[in-house]
Amino acid sequence: MKRIQFSESVFLNLIESDKFKTDYFEINLILPLREETASYAALLPQVLRRGSKKYPQMSDISKRFDYLYSTGFSARVTKRGENQIVSFTADFLRESLLPPGEHLMDDVFETMRSIIFEPLVNDGAFKAEYVESEKKNLIDAIKSIINNKNAYSMKKCHEAMCKGQNYAVSESGKVELVEKIDGTSLYNFYKDFLSHAKIEMFYTGTCDENVIKNHARSLISDIKSEKLYDLHSERFERTRDKVVEITEEMEVAQGKLVLCFRSGHTISDEKYSAYALFNNIFGGSPTSKLFENVREKLSLCYFCRSIPDAHKGILTVVSGIEVANRDKAQKEILAQLDNVKSGNISDEEMSSAKNDMINSYRSLCDSASDISTWYLSRLLGGSGKTIEDVIDEIGKVTKEDVVACAKATELDTIFFLKGTLTDGGEEE
């Protein structure tokens, strides 16, 4: 990957690849994750894609991209640690495959510029109809998380663990704050956001570097950058006298048991690859200790896996269980962690985990979007390593490195969603 800096706040990342029939471009606008602005940032891209000055209706935008050889366009909001990311992407046919004389890229960038930077505004406000419609959609989405019991339980555990920290804020915002937004306040946020956001652009394809640089510069040419947001994620290092335990009852058949640990490791650490390998061995793969023992051997859960947050320094174990197995499942999860801490790792487990991770990293190159997401995550975490760098590191991790990572992992918070129905059932 080649990284080009346009200004203090604007970067273009070029990934040369002839693997795809389409070129891929992504622009990410990044701000700190804060409760007072998260709802605005979550709503903004959905309102922008409803219509622009040149393409005032969603149907106009859709027709435009259909005309551009069915170019794919998307908008999304995510979070990495304590940063919120507003992303717009375009996936369009490679110019070498177009009829002679066609220059699709010019039109794709022009259309993206229109949607993102030339919005439909009247008297200093976004169109009220679009704002109210997208507010309803966003509120429905926020409320619907309770229908995904795994995501809901993890969210509740993280909120309890990181209470008072920005990590506990949802990238989707809060219902009561979304309800207060109107066209004027959203447009005021939009203007302020553009002038302070860090911008990371990614291009994957075969086009000439200078052509892409010119298109990228043109895309953001109207942005008048001021002082850049202070972007960082605080490593979770809070210590407690005792583990926090929370139980919530719900009319469902299955229980959800979530254990959150302080991992002591983030992506900025020189040896984070060792922690990633520890996670794979502990609970991050189908051959992990949690899967093989808690699920397969002892049948204490329907599923059980560990998920690290490489930006915050948290490891989350989530499992779906019969309510009656709650204590047994928790005890066995912790026993498997102790197994790794004690060095009970076979050569076969080490080899299997390394192969699994190396294959996963190599498979990233099968998707232009996945490549960009991976590099963006690394850049936000303060790491400039390439995929090949990390693959090389994984191969060099020792059993002693894995044991050290396990020993740094300490239980902090437990959330148990206790199902009150008695008819049993598989994962919900």
| Tokens, residue 381 | 């975490």
Please report the domains of the chain, with CATH numbers, ordered by start residue. Answer: 2-219 (3.30.830.10), 244-419 (3.30.830.10)
Beta strand extents in 282-378 (DSSP E only) = 303-309, 314-321
Size of the chain, expressed as the number of residues it contains: 428
Q: At 235, which amino acid appears?
A: R
CA 183 vs CA 123, 190, 196: distances in Å: 10, 10, 20
Alpha carbon distance 326, 23 (integer Å): 49
User: H or E element: which one contains 255?
Assistant: strand 255-262
User: H or E element: which one contains 109?
Assistant: helix 104-117
- Along the chain (428 residues), what's the average pLDDT of each consecutive run of 10 residues? 94 94 97 98 98 98 97 97 97 91 93 98 98 99 97 97 95 98 98 96 95 96 85 75 95 96 92 97 97 97 96 97 97 98 97 97 94 95 92 98 97 97 59
* pLDDT confidence of residue 428: 47
* pLDDT confidence of residue 427: 46
CB atoms within 10 A of CB 18: 9
User: What's the CA angle centered on 83, arms 202 and 230, to 5 degrees?
Assistant: 100
Alpha carbon distance 361, 300 (integer Å): 31
